[in-house]
Amino acid sequence: MDGLSGAASVIAVVDVSAKVTSLCFQYSVAVKDAKRDIKRLQKKVTDIKNVLEEVRRLLDKEDKSQLSTTRNLLDSLEECYQQLQELKAQLEPSRGRKAMQRVGFRALKWPFTSKQVEKIVASLEQYEDTFSLALQVDQTGLILSVDRKLNLVDKKTDTLLSKIDVTRLPTAKGASFDSHMEEHNSTCLPNTRTELLQHIQGWAKDKSGKPIFWLNGAAGTGKSTIARTVARTFADQRQLGASFFFKRGEGERGNAMRFFTTIATQLAVRVSEIGPGIKKAIDADPDISEKALKDQFEKLILQPLSEVANLPILVLLIVIDALDECERDSDIRAILQLLSRTRDLKSVSLRVLVTSRPELHIRLGFKQMPDGTYEDLIL
């Protein structure tokens, strides 16, 4: 692909991604024991193909001189092309086309382990993000009217750069409700728990409601299922700010070390207006992720939320599941004490749903909150 123009490079990557997708489909028909990995890889390659087809349409339609960001993708396109070519070579049957026609596609053997697929998907996801961001920037520049163009493009670019900078914060892998680690865990079945779910939604959207809702109960009462259902509902309504599902023994999901940095990163991605404030905090203190929980909360969450203006969201929900699975009791108490300070926010109607077992140190943590800070419900 050396020496190709931007448009030709895009076409080359689209073509090879289509071939990889076709090969994945053949494996999905022939191989039974790796269907989930095959589906994940096929979907990610298809996502890249779809984004680049949008880029190609933009390059074909518009004056290329106006597409400065997209035209600067050559290095990323070259790297992505090489990775997809290597992937294609690994997926192609080694015995050749004629041999495969004789024995059939059922002789195929999936060449990757689940860990290898996860690594490949993560690498391809970085290219997808790069191409998508470039597309967003150039599309924004073309849509805006001439008199507003420069100011709004600068603002859009700052927001995108803020998102990129925020990704420097370390996060707890798999902690969000929609992570790969959580995708096979259940949500409430249709027409079940309807009264409880309506009650939680009513609390969250009540402007005069208490900022924190504590859903507690013994093991097996469905707290996490409810939390995932609520998170999905509010995400679909674009009102979910962040989610963190604690899980003892699962690395940083089992402690508070990356709790606030994970929440801050999700807030910046989901609510672009908050990103610049978080970026400012990181620029002022690049080691903020290693500081005390109080410092992380104040600088990465409370202050950016306090400074945001004209937020186009009526309510913003944070879901915290299984708080009792956080390792240190002292960290749990600190988290509860810090979250209680969100009641003073004026710029946004922030709501926090917390689920846990009713353990003594958690009950004491809630009782130490100021009056009117939370409501609770026992399952």
Distance CA 282, CA 287 (A): 8
- When divided into structural domains, the chain yields a total of 2
Contact 124, 46 (CB under 8 A): no
Q: Look at the block and give the residue holding tokens 């999936």.
A: 110
Q: Do residues 233 and 95 share a domain?
A: no
Type of residue at 196: L
CATH number at residue 324: 3.40.50.300
Domain that residue 63 falls in: 6-143
* DSSP label at residue 65: G
Residue 240's SS3 state is strand
Phi-psi region of 171 (alpha: psi -120 to 50; beta: other; left: phi over 0): beta
Instruction: Answer with the one of 127, 143, 159 that is the final residue of a domain.
Output: 143
Q: Are residues 200 and 136 in the same domain?
A: no
Dist. CA 256–CA 332, nearest whole Å:
8
Are the C-beta atoms of residues 353 and 230 closer than 8 Å to each other?
yes
Residue 175 lies in a domain: no
Do 230 and 366 lie in one domain? The reply is: yes
Report how far residue 321's alpha carbon sits from residue 58's, in angstroms, rounded to the nearest whole number: 43
CA angle 313, 319, 322 (to 5 degrees): 175
Closest CA to 258 of 235, 269, 242: 242
DSSP secondary structure, 301-354, as one string: IIHHHHH--S-S-S-EEEEEE-GGGSS-HHHHHHHHHHHGGGGG--SS-EEEEE
Looking at the fold, whether 90 and 184 belong to one and the same domain comes out as: no
Do 207 and 310 fall into the same domain?
yes
Q: Same domain, yes or no, for 239 and 131? A: no
- 203 and 310 share one domain: yes
Which region holds residue 179: left if phi is over 0, alpha if psi is between -120 and 50, else beta? beta
CB 252 within 8 A of CB 258: yes
Same domain, 139 and 185: no
Write out the chain's pLDDT in tens, 379 residues.
554 566 788 889 999 999 999 999 999 888 888 899 999 999 999 999 888 888 777 777 655 555 556 666 778 888 899 999 999 999 987 655 444 444 455 567 899 999 999 999 999 998 888 888 777 766 655 554 344 444 544 455 455 444 445 557 889 999 999 888 887 888 898 888 899 999 999 999 898 889 999 999 999 999 999 999 999 999 999 899 999 999 999 999 999 999 999 999 999 888 878 888 888 898 899 899 999 999 999 999 999 999 887 776 778 999 999 999 999 999 999 999 999 999 988 888 899 999 999 999 999 999 999 999 999 999 9
Contact 361, 334 (CB under 8 A): no
Q: How many helices (H) and strands (E) does the chain have?
A: 15, 5
Q: What is the pTM of this model?
A: 0.59
The reply to whether 187 and 139 lie within a common domain is no
Domain end residue (candidates: 124, 143, 162): 143
Burial (Cβ within 10 Å: 0-12, 13-18, ≥19) of residue 288: buried
Beta bridge partners of 213: 353, 375
> 79 near 3, Cβ under 8 Å?
no
Quote the Cα angle for 160-51-68, to 5°.
Answer: 55
Domain identity same for 220 and 344 = yes
**Local structure of residue 300 (DSSP, 8 states):** I
